[in-house]
C-alpha cells in the first residue's frame, strides 16, 4: 500500500539529500520508510496518514512536559507578535540567563547560541583559548554535534551509519581528538600521561544517550574530575540531553559532580532551535567581547526560543515534583518491559537513568560503545518496526536513548508494555 509518508519521502528525495534534514530520520539503520509527522499533542504524535503513536523520542529530549504544552505555545504566540528576531539585546535574554544560573550549580555565566552543536563547538574553543592547549579527550560513542573535531568515533547518527572516518574532517583535526572508551578511567589516565600538558579539555555526556542510555559506573565521573583538577584540564559536561531533564540542575546536580563548562541544546528552548554554554566566571570571561575568544551568532538569544525555554524551565523550577513523576513513570516502564522480555528466550539489557531508558538485545552489561555495537541490533530493528506497527514510536536506531515525558500516562505505559509483548510474538 502506498502511504502518504511514502509519497512524501519519494518527493523529498528529489530536493533534500536522502529525503531528510538529519540522517537518523531516514530509517537507514532500521529499514523502511520514515514517517512524516503532521502534529503532536501531549504524549502522542500523528503521521501524515492519521496514525497515532505513543512517543518515546519527544523531539530527542526537550518535550519534558509533552508536545504542544499550552503555556509554552501561548508564550510563543504572544512573543511572535512583537517580532521573531531583533539582532539586538533584549531583557528576556537576561531573565533567561538569570533563571538558568539560579537553577544550575556551578554556572556563573551563560552564553546563548542556536544549537547544541554550536554550544559544544564554542565550549571547546573556549577551553582551548583558556588553557592555550589544542588537544582534547572525548569518548567513543558520545556525540557532541557535527563540528569536525567531534566526529571522530562519535555516537548517534555517525554510529547508526557506521561512519567512523568522516570525509571532510582533516587529519590535523583528527590528531587533536583523543578518544577513550566510556566508563574506562584507566584509558583516560593513559591518554593524559601520553599527552602531558597538551590536553585542553575532557568533554563527555555525563549520562550517555547516543549509544543508547548508558549511565556512568561508580567512581568514573569522580575520577575524571580528579584528573582534570590535577592536570589543569577543563571538564566539559555535554548536557544537551541531560540538562533540565534529569533534575533542575541537570546531571551536575544528579551526579553530584561540578563541571567547569556545561553545554545545552534544544531542552532550554522547549524544542525550539537553541543552545547555550556556560560555567565558571573565571573561564567564561575569556569569551568576546569580554575576552579574546571569539564567538558570535545573529540569532543567539532569539526571542521565540528564549520565551519558550523560559516558560518551560520556570515551570520545572516551580514544580520540582515533575522530576519524581517522570522518574517513577520510567521505572514503571522498566519493570513492565523487564517482565515481558524475561518471559522470552532472547538475552536483553535495560539501561535506565532518570527519565532516560533503552533496551539492548545483549547477553552482557552495556557500559560503553563497544558493548552497544556488539548487541543484536538486527533484532532491535525488527523490534522497532513491530512496535511502530503497534502504534509505539521508538528512536529509529539502537544507538539512541528513549525519552519519557510527563504527559505520558500510566495507561500509555501499560499500553506500551502490552504492545511490547505483542511485538515480541509477531
Q: Which residues are catalytic?
A: 143, 238, 266
What the block records as the C-alpha cell of 77 is 504566540
- Would you tell me how many other CB atoms lie within 10 Å of the CB of residue 207? 26
Cβ neighbours of residue 33 closer than 8 Å, sequence gap 6 or more: 3, 5, 6, 9, 27
Strands 44-47 and 234-238: unpaired
Q: Which has the closest alpha carbon to 120: 272, 285, 274, 238?
A: 238
Q: Quote the CA–CA distance of 151 and 173 in Å, as a whole number.
A: 10
- Rounded to the nearest 10°, the torsion over CA 402, 405, 409, 410 is 50
Strand partners, 41: 44
Strands, E assignment, 75-154: 109-113, 135-139
Q: Quote the CA–CA distance of 366 and 356 in Å, as a whole number.
A: 15
Q: Quote the CA–CA distance of 404 and 400 in Å, as a whole number.
A: 13
Q: Quote the CA–CA distance of 138 and 136 in Å, as a whole number.
A: 7
Alpha helices in 132-259 (DSSP H): 156-160, 171-175, 185-194, 220-231, 250-255
Residue 326: what are its φ and ψ, rounded to 5°?
-75, -30
Q: Quote the CA–CA distance of 298 and 30 in Å, as a whole number.
A: 37
295 with 122: CB under 8 angstroms? yes
How many residues are recorded in the chain? 426
Q: How many helices (H) and strands (E) does the chain have?
A: 15, 14
DSSP state of 293: B
- Rounded to 5°, angle at Cα 239 from 248 and 68: 65
Q: Quote the CA–CA distance of 45 and 176 in Å, as a whole number.
A: 42
Q: Which has the closest alpha carbon to 69: 353, 245, 313?
A: 313
Amino acid at each position: 500500500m502506498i502511504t502518504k509518508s511514502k509519497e512524501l519521502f519519494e518527493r523529498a528525495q528529489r530536493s533534500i539529500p536522502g529525503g531528510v534534514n538529519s540522517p537518523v530520520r531516514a530509517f537507514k539503520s532500521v529499514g523502511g520508510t520514515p514517517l512524516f509527522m503532521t502534529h503532536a499533542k501531549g504524549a502522542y504524535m500523528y503521521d501524515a496518514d492519521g496514525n497515532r503513536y505513543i512517543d518515546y523520542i519527544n523531539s530527542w529530549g526537550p518535550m519534558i512536559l509533552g508536545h504542544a504544552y499550552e503555556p509554552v505555545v501561548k508564550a510563543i504566540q504572544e512573543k511572535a507578535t512583537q517580532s521573531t528576531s531583533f539582532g539586538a539585546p533584549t531583557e528576556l535574554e537576561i531573565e533567561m540567563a538569570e533563571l538558568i544560573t539560579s537553577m544550575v550549580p556551578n554556572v556563573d555565566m551563560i552564553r546563548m547560541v542556536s544549537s547544541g552543536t554550536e554550544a559544544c563547538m564554542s565550549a571547546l574553543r573556549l577551553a582551548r583559548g583558556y588553557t592555550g592547549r589544542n588537544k582534547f579527550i572525548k569518548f567513543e560513542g558520545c556525540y557532541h554535534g557535527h563540528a569536525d573535531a567531534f566526529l571522530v568515533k562519535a555516537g548517534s547518527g555517525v554510529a547508526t551509519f557506521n561512519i567512523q572516518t568522516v570525509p571532510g574532517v582533516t587529519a590535523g583535526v583528527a590528531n587533536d581528538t583523543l578518544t577513550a572508551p566510556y566508563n574506562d578511567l584507566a584509558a583516560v589516565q593513559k591518554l593524559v600521561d601520553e599527552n602531558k600538558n597538551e590536553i585542553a579539555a575532557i568533554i563527555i555526556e555525563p549520562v550517555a544517550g547516543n549509544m543508547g542510555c548508558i549511565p556512568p559506573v561508580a567512581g568514573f565521573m569522580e575520577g575524571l574530575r580528579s584528573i582534570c583538577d590535577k592536570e589543569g584540564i577543563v571538564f566539559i559536561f555535554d548536557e544537551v540531553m541531560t540538562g533540565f531533564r534529569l533534575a533542575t540542575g541537570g546531571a551536575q546536580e544528579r551526579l553530584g559532580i561540578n563541571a567547569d563548562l556545561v553545554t545545552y541544546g534544544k531542552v532550554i528552548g522547549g524544542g525550539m532551535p537553541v543552545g547555550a554554554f556556560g560555567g565558571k566566571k573565571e573561564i567564561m570571561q575569556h569569551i568576546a567581547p569580554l575576552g579574546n575568544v571569539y564567538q558570535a551568532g545573529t540569532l543567539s538569544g532569539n526571542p521565540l526560543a528564549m520565551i519558550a525555554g523560559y516558560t518551560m524551565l520556570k515551570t520545572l523550577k516551580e514544580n520540582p515534583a515533575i522530576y519524581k513523576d517522570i522518574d517513577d513513570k520510567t521505572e514503571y516502564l522498566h519493570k513492565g518491559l523487564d517482565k515481558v522480555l524475561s518471559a522470552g528466550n532472547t538475552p536483553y539489557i535495560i539501561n535506565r537513568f532518570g527519565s532516560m531508558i533503552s533496551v539492548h538485545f545483549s547477553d552482557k552489561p552495556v557500559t560503553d560503545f563497544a558493548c552497544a555495537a556488539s548487541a543484536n541490533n538486527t533484532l532491535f530493528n525488527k523490534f522497532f518496526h513491530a512496535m511502530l506497527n503497534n502504534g509505539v514510536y521508538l528512536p529509529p536506531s539502537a544507538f539512541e536513548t528513549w525519552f519519557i515525558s510527563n504527559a505520558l500516562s500510566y495507561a500509555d505505559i501499560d499500553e506500551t508494555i502490552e504492545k511490547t509483548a505483542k511485538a515480541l510474538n509477531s
